[in-house]
Amino acid sequence: MNHKGFTLIEIIILIVLAGILLPAIMVPFATVVKGSGKPEMVNKAMFLAQQKMEEFMKFDYSNATLTAIPLTSYSNTDFPDYQWQWSIAWVDSSSSFAASPTDVGYKMILVRVQDPENSTYELTSVVTNFP
């Protein structure tokens, strides 16, 4: 007889093979899809760091807002998933930032942002006192 179609055994074999192969294919695919949001988080964290840095850079060297302060604790109310902290420090001859003993009198601003996956991004800038 010339019947066309699949036998029950062929269908069972197909189901068993699919049950074995699909998880092996889906796990790497799910991992890639899950990690695809990381570039978006990096861009958002860097945007927030630049935003905070611009907030500080608008002030003159002698402004009280740029008084040296230690690293603040993490906080951010606008973007609760992202946290930031900052510090403002004097650059003196003992600082690792000073290239030579005469490179002093600057204020160094550090802004650090932490994304929801606890990766940290830092921006550093220097403010000088021009006469």
Interstrand relation of 120-127 and 106-114 (parallel, antiparallel or unpaired)? antiparallel
Does residue 131 register a pLDDT over 70? no
Residue 31 lies in a domain: no
Amino acid in the structure at residue 113: V
Residue 89 lies in a domain: yes
Distance, in Å, from the CA atom of 56 to the CA atom of 98, rounded to the nearest integer, reads 21
Q: Where are the beta strands (DSSP E) in the chain?
A: 83-91, 106-114, 120-127
Q: At 33, is the pLDDT very low, low, confident or very high (cuts 50, 70, 90)?
A: confident
Q: pLDDT tens digit string along 59-76?
A: 888 888 888 888 888 887
Residue 97 lies in a domain: yes
Distance, in Å, from the CA atom of 79 to the CA atom of 115, rounded to the nearest integer, reads 10
- State both tokens at 9: 């055994």
Domain count, the chain: 1
Please give the pLDDT value at position 16.
Answer: 94
Residue 112 lies in a domain: yes
Question: Which of 61, 64, 72 is CA-nearest to residue 110?
Answer: 72
Residue span of the structural domain in which 76 resides: 38-127
